[in-house]
Structures are given as structure tokens and as C-alpha cells.
Chains A and B, each alone.
Chain A
Amino acid sequence: MDNWLIVTLVTVGYLFVSLLVGILAGRRASSSTAGYVVADREFGFIIMYFVMGASIFSAFAFLGGPGWAYSRGAAAFYILSYGTVGLAPWYFFGPRVAALGRKYGYVTQADLFAHRFQSPALSVLMAIISLVCFLPYLILQMEGAGYVFDVVTEGRIPPAAGAAIAYGVVLIYVYYSGVMGVGWTNTFQGVFMMALAWGLGLYLPYQLYGGVAPMFESLSQSVPEMLTAPGLDTDGTRWTWGGYSSSIAISVFGFSLWPHYFMKIYAARDERTLKKTVVWYPTFMIFLVPIMFIGFSGVLRFPGVEPADAILPTIVTSLGLPAIVVGLFCAGALAASMSTGDALVHAAGTILVNDFYKVSFNPDLDDAQERRLIRFFVVAIAGVAYYFAVFSSFSLVYLLLFSYGFLNQFMPLIIAAFFWPRATRPGVLAGLITGCATVIIWTYFPELQWQKIHPGIWGLGANLVAMVSVSLATQPMDDEHVLKFVVT
């Protein structure tokens, strides 16, 4: 049988199992919006662990991650760094969010903040920002899936078809099973991804150098600048500590606030489950180590690969590995992409309906109607993303740069929500808008980024100044209302 056919069959096998798991999972949740969006607040530890782990590990894990290590060396260590403490804040504010969610029926991140600050406008604004952050991320996942499928089948399954097949499967199980589908498939996909990362991450250094230690010894002789932080910048010159450190900082600040992540707090069965997930989460990070080994293994053996993100598919298809192994690689890369894409598309549909549509146009939307609308928009948003992934050469670079910058602007909100009773509605709105505007300006004018510090950090500064000054200049909120939220 031709290699590409075996590869395709293995991949289809993986897709079939994902689909089956995803559809069967749906039977476990109720047919309400709460069932569709937060799994009736009943997720156990294993699912929470894998949802949190797999959702953040996107196609980047097998494309960009090794790509960074390959072309920028120790700069890639920032990825390992931010995951270490990224979820830790949930240990402290997570239970409060979950308790409020149970009490007031929240299903999205904006639900909580809009209620705390008594501001429908805040809900709409957060919805818009969330969708702006989601879209490029989702498009990238589809592109990644299509790309990998194309490379391993030597072009016989073109990117448009690969992306359509993978995301067709995602759409089916998200449509039918909502977050239950996301949870169970992420568990399957997460195990798959980790196995693949460790497998390749140990095999490739052995194959190419005779081991991990010989590989790093070799690199330390030829390219020592790649082994010490901050590593290299995109042009091959030394990156700055400002760039490296601020990348970690904005990733850490934003990590616990990604809307599709945050809403999973509501899904946890109880405080114990939530905290246990946070405790064990850093162990998921450990699988980034072999990912980096993969990138490093390519440096001296496969010079000149462009773009850098192609390094892993290039190595895998160049080594004459058995087709089944190549198929497993493709399946693993798809798993990485789909386990992020499914959470994104599910959250995007939910947020568009719950935080934007319902608030702006139809607050009397009943539960069944809401669920139907969410499903409709899940499909519509996937369609829009697919269009951009496949038919448009629209550059994602700026959008992606904006995403983390915008996302960070939610941080003052969470601090004010629980720790600062004096924050007011005009204050938080002013902060959010000022922060986002600053991010846009600093992104378009990179000369403003002193020491290459990320625009998100500048945005945060402006955000805090605006939030504090406008809050103090406006009427305090009602004590009784604020007392429901703040630490006392």
C-alpha cells in the first residue's frame, strides 16, 4: 500500500475515535444551555486536567513550539516558563468564581463581570474582544491542521481538504455535545498528544545524535548562543531580556483569563476538583520539554528549513520512518489543533449569543432558543474561520499580536472585581477601552516598545491609570451589591 494511504488511514482512524468519543459524551449532559456550556457544573478531575491542558496546547505545540526552538533556541524557553505559574491564580480566585457561578447562574466570563459592575456594555465589549482574540487563533488551528495533513500525504490531501475533514469532525461533536464533547475528546486527544511528544521528543535526538546529552553537547560547541536565554530574535540577532521577560509576563497575566478557559471554572464539579486541577496542571507543562528537544534536534541536521514552523513535519517526512509512525504524528498534530479549536469554537458561539446577542437584542431569550442559537453560531463562526484559513491570504500577524495584548486588559477587571470595592462601572469601562487602544497604538508603532516590551504591558499600565482615576472620580457602587463579590 502507498505510504500516503497508510498515513491517511491512521489519521482517519484517529478522527473516527475522536468523533465517536465526542458524540457519545453528549449523552451525559442535560439538554439545557447549562448542560451545553458548563456541563451542568459536573466535570471531574481527569476531564478538567485534560481540558485545561489540551486546550492551551494547540497546533503550536507541534509546529510553532519546535519552530521556535529550531530558529530561536532558548527563546522558546519562555513557553515552558509561563505555563509554570499561569494557572496558579485560579487556586485563589477560582473557587470564588465557581461559587458565584453556581449562585447566579453564570456560564461565561463576561456574565460575572457584567453582573459585578452592573454593566451590559461591559458584557458586549468583552464579547467583542473575546471574539477578536479567538478568531486568529482558530484560523491558525485550521491552517495548522490543513498544513500537516498536506505535508504527510505529499500533497494528496490539500490543506483545504485536511482542514475541512478535521474541523468537520470538530463541528459535529461540538454541535451535538457542547462542552461535554470538548471535555471527553480533549482527554483522548491530550493523551495522544503527550504520547506523541514524548515519543518523538526522545526518538529524534537519539536518531540524529545518539541521545539528548550528545545533542546538547553538540549544540553547545556549534551554537552556544542558542542554549542560553533570551536566545535569538526572529532576525537571528540576540533577543532582549525585555522582550523575553515581557512575553512571559503577558502570557502569565492572560493565561488564566482566556475566555474559553475561564468559563471552564464553572464546569468543575466542586472546589476540590478545581484546586486539584490547578495543583496538577504544571505536570502538563513537562511535555513541552520533549517538544523543545524536537526543535533543537533539527538545528544542525536540517539547516535552512523555512518557515521554521515546518521543522517537525520536515524531519518526520525526511527520516524514512514507517508510514504508521508518520500517520500517528499527523494524528497527534491534528489532536493538538482540534483540542484547542473545539474549545474556541464552542466558546465563541456561546459568547456571541450569551454576552452579545442576548444582552443587546433579546434578554428574554429562553433556554431552548439560546441553545439553538449557540449551535447555529458555532457552525457559522467555524465557517468564517475556515474561509479565512483556506481562501484568504489575510495576514494574521497583527491580529495575533493584538490578541494577547487585548486579553491582558481583562486583568484589572478581575483584580477590581474581588479586591477593590471602590471600582466603578465607568472606571472599568474606561480602563478596558484605554488599555485596548494603547495596545493598538503600541503594536502599530513598535518604536514605542522600549526594550521591546510587549504592547500588552503598556496597555496594562494605561488601563490601570484610567481605571483608578475614573473610578475615584465617579460615584462609588452600592455597598450591598459589591459585598456579594469582594473579599471581606
Chain B
Amino acid sequence: MSMKARIFSTALNKMERRVYSTVTIIVIGTFLATMWPIYPLFSRIRPFVLGMPASLFYLLVLVFLVFFSLLALYRWEDKRGKFE
């Protein structure tokens, strides 16, 4: 068997690999944060934020977390000329 299973391309340098790993961890972390055992810690009614129970507002925070993380990654890739 000559090929190894890889997650990241060997063409990436250490810094790039670290950026992708970080974003991947944030995304997976967010996914886990919507479920047991993390979400139960935050699934409470109070405090109300923007009129919503904390259990709902927490999920909105996660939406924005993913959005801003991927947005940052996208802009970083753009700056490095990945989309030309």
C-alpha cells in the first residue's frame, strides 16, 4: 500500500495546516456544543436575552460563531490568492 490516508494535503505548510485545523476544530466544537453533554449546561430559561430564553439565544450565538469563523477563513484564503 503506497498511499497514506491523509486529512491535509502535503502541499500545505505548517502555518496553513494550523489555520485549517483551528477552523475545523471550531466547526466540530460548535456541532458538539449543540448536543449532549455540552448543550445541557446551557439549556436554561434564564437569563432572557433579546426576549428569548437563554437556551435559544445560545444557539444563535453558535450560528454567529460558525459564520464569523468561516468568514475569517474565507477572507484569509482570499488574501492569499486562493481564488484567482
A426 at the interface (CB under 8 A from B): no
B5 contacts partner chain A, Cβ-Cβ < 8 Å: yes
Chain B 44-84 interface 0/1 with A at a Cβ cutoff of 8 Å (1 = within): 11101011110110011011101100110110011000110
Report Cα–Cα, A74/B77, bound state, in Å: 38
Contacts of A228 in B (CB 8 A): 43-45, 53, 55
B78 to chain A, nearest CB (A): 7
B66 touches A85 (CB 8 A): yes
Q: B3, A229: Cβ atoms under 8 Å?
A: no
B45 touches A249 (CB 8 A): no
CB nearest neighbor in A for B37: A241
The 3 closest A-B pairs by CB, nearest first: A213-B51, A245-B35, A212-B51
Contact B51 A216 (CB under 8 A): yes
Contact B70 A420 (CB under 8 A): no
Q: Measured between C-beta atoms, what is the minimum distance from A286 to chain B in Å?
A: 7
Are B66 and A88 neighbours in the complex by a CB distance under 8 Å? yes
Chain B residue contacts of A241, Cβ below 8 A: 35-37, 40
Please tell me if A364 contacts chain B, counting CB pairs below 8 Å: no
Q: Which of A130-138, A275-283, A400-408 lies at the binding interface?
A: A275-283
Whether B2 sits at the interface, judged by CB under 8 Å, is yes
Question: Smallest CB–CB gap between A311 and chain B, Å?
Answer: 18
| Cα of A475 to Cα of B7 in the assembled complex, Å | 23
Contacts of A486 in B (CB 8 A): 3, 5-6
Question: Cβ of B34: which chain A residues have Cβ within 8 Å of it?
Answer: 78, 81-82, 84-85, 248
Q: Provide the residues of chain B in CB contact with A275, threshold 8 Å.
A: 74, 77, 83
Instruction: Say whether B8 contacts A487, CB under 8 Å.
Output: yes
C-alpha gap A488/B4 in the complex (Å): 8
Inter-chain contacts of A215 with B (CB < 8 A): 51
CA A122 – CA B40 in complex, angstroms? Answer: 41
Contact A220 B53 (CB under 8 A): yes
Contacts of B73 in A (CB 8 A): 91
| Chain A residues at the B interface, C-beta cutoff of 8 Å | 74, 77-78, 80-82, 84-85, 88, 91-92, 211-213, 215-217, 220, 224, 227-230, 241-242, 244-245, 248-249, 252, 270-272, 275-276, 278-280, 282-283, 285-286, 289, 292, 419-422, 476, 479, 482-483, 486-488
Report A-chain residues with C-beta under 8 Å of the C-beta of B9: 487-488
Known: A282-B63, A486-B6, A487-B7. 6 other contacts (CB 8 A): A81-B62, A84-B31, A228-B43, A241-B40, A283-B63, A286-B60
Once A282-B63, A420-B5 are accepted as A-B contacts, the answer to whether A216 and B24 lie under 8 Å apart by CB is no
Q: Which residues of A contact B8 (CB under 8 A)?
A: 487
Q: Could you mark each residue 1-26 of chain B with 1 if its beta carbon is under 8 Å from any beta carbon of chain A, else 0?
A: 11111111110000000000000100
B contacts with A, residue count (CB < 8 A): 46
Supposing A244-B35, A271-B83 touch, asked if A289 and B78 sit within 8 A by C-beta, the answer is no
Of all chain B residues, the one with the shortest Cβ separation from A89 is B27
Closest to B75 in A: A279
- 7 residue pairs bridging A and B, Cβ less than 8 Å apart: A74-B55, A74-B56, A227-B56, A228-B44, A272-B83, A275-B77, A282-B67
Q: Which chain B positions have C-beta within 8 A of A212?
A: 50-52
In the complex with contacts A91-B73, A476-B1, A487-B43 CB distance below 8 A: no
User: Which residues in B have their C-beta under 8 angstroms from that of A211?
Assistant: 51
Q: Are A279 and B71 in contact (CB under 8 A)?
A: yes
Say which residue of B1, B35, B45 sits within 8 Å of A224 (CB atoms).
Answer: B45
The smallest C-beta distance from B52 to any residue of chain A, in angstroms, reads 6
Closest Cβ of chain A to B69, distance in Å, is: 9
Q: A229 to chain B: which residues have CB within 8 Å?
A: 39-40, 43, 55
A422 interface neighbour in B5, B60, B74, Cβ under 8 Å: B5
A434 to B77, CA, bound (A): 40
Residue from B6, B10, B63, B82 whose CB has the most chain A CB atoms within 10 Å: B63
CA distance A213 to B73 in the complex (A): 35
